[in-house]
Amino acid sequence: AQRVTQPEKLLSVFKGAPVELKCNYSYSGSPELFWYVQYSRQRLQLLLRHISRESIKGFTADLNKGETSFHLKKPFAQEEDSAMYYCALSMIGDMRFGAGTRLTVKP
Amino acid sequence: DAGVTQSPTHLIKTRGQQVTLRCSPISGHKSVSWYQQVLGQGPQFIFQYYEKEERGRGNFPDRFSARQFPNYSSELNVNALLLGDSALYLCASSSPGTGEKPQYFGPGTRLLVL
């Protein structure tokens, strides 16, 4: 069955420290994966997608088909990165979200 | 463009009632998807519509239905409301083409069933 797992509900790091938010997926086809972010009192918004292989706000994510993972990384966390992060798997006519990880960056 | 808009923002209903939620996509977007987000969980896919046709349906009972209008706006209907239907209902639209493209979310409608 198609599934997205984010093993950490909460993640706390200090400003300037590296951060990695984990995402594992289960899908037999060719996955299209996204990271969405929700800042306090704002709507859910796209952070990045694996196809574009871009870096947004210093975040990157690499699709590892062997490990079925799509972890989100940033070398130096900033306080404004504090938010809820969701990993999502897109399929034809369906989209699966993980339960989310709340990232807190402490000063 | 104001982005995806949803109405109403909040709604209180009692068990057994029916509710209709509305969504207007970003101008030019032809695909609309609906999600239910219960507190502490990620969004759960309910429906996807493209060009007024249903393209996908999540694991929700038949009490949930939706439709898309010629102007690409959409309605989500929930009949015979249960306490467990209390959630944030999100609408998302995506650019011309299939729904696999990145989706843009509305602010949601918070439904409370008493």
Question: How many structural domains are present in chain A?
Answer: 1
- Structure confidence at residue A38 as a pLDDT band (50, 70, 90): very high
Question: How many structural domains are present in chain B?
Answer: 1
CB-based contact A89:A32 (threshold 8 Å): yes
**Cα of A96 to nearest chain B Cα, Å:** 7
- Structure confidence at residue A94 as a pLDDT band (50, 70, 90): confident
Q: What integer pLDDT is reported at residue A92 of this predicted model?
A: 76
Q: Which DSSP string do the residues of B35-51 spell out, in sequence order? A: EEE-TTS--EEEEEEET
Residue B56 has its nearest CB partner, among A88, A94, A100, at A94
Q: What integer pLDDT is reported at residue B99 of this predicted model?
A: 46
Is A30 exposed, middle or buried, given 0-12, 13-18 or 19+ CB atoms closer than 10 A?
Answer: exposed
Scan residues 13-42 of B and list those with Cβ closer than 8 Å to A. 33, 35, 40-42
Nearest to B66 by CA among B86, B95, B45, B88: B45
Cβ–Cβ below 8 Å for B102 and A43: no
User: DSSP code of B97?
Assistant: S
Boundaries of domain holding B85? 5-97+105-113
Task: Answer whether A31 touches B (CB < 8 Å).
Answer: no
Cβ–Cβ below 8 Å for A93 and B107: no
Strand, helix or coil at A81? helix
Q: What integer pLDDT is reported at residue B96 of this predicted model?
A: 62
- Structure confidence at residue A13 as a pLDDT band (50, 70, 90): very high
For residue B103 the two structure tokens come to: 């989706």
Strand, helix or coil at B67? strand
End-to-end CA, chain B = 35
Boundaries of domain holding A77? 3-106
Cβ–Cβ below 8 Å for B105 and A92: no
Average pLDDT over residues A31-54: 89
Residues of B in contact with A91 (CB under 8 A): 100
Could you give phi then psi for residue B83, rounded to 5 degrees? -55, -35
Residue A76 belongs to a domain with what CATH number? 2.60.40.10
Could you give phi then psi for residue A38, rounded to 5 degrees? -130, 105
Q: What integer pLDDT is reported at residue A54 of this predicted model?
A: 76
- Structure confidence at residue B1 as a pLDDT band (50, 70, 90): low
Residue B92 belongs to a domain with what CATH number? 2.60.40.10
Interacting residues of A101 by C-beta distance below 8 A, sequence separation 6+: A6, A8, A9, A10, A11, A21, A22, A84, A85
**Cα–Cα distance between B47 and B61 in angstroms, integer?**
12
A vs B: CB pairs below 8 A: 57
List B47's β-bridge partners, or say none. B34, B57
Q: What integer pLDDT is reported at residue B11 of this predicted model?
A: 96
Total H helices, total E strands in chain B: 0, 11
pLDDT tens readout for residues B63-108: 999 999 999 999 999 999 999 999 999 999 987 654 456 789 999 9
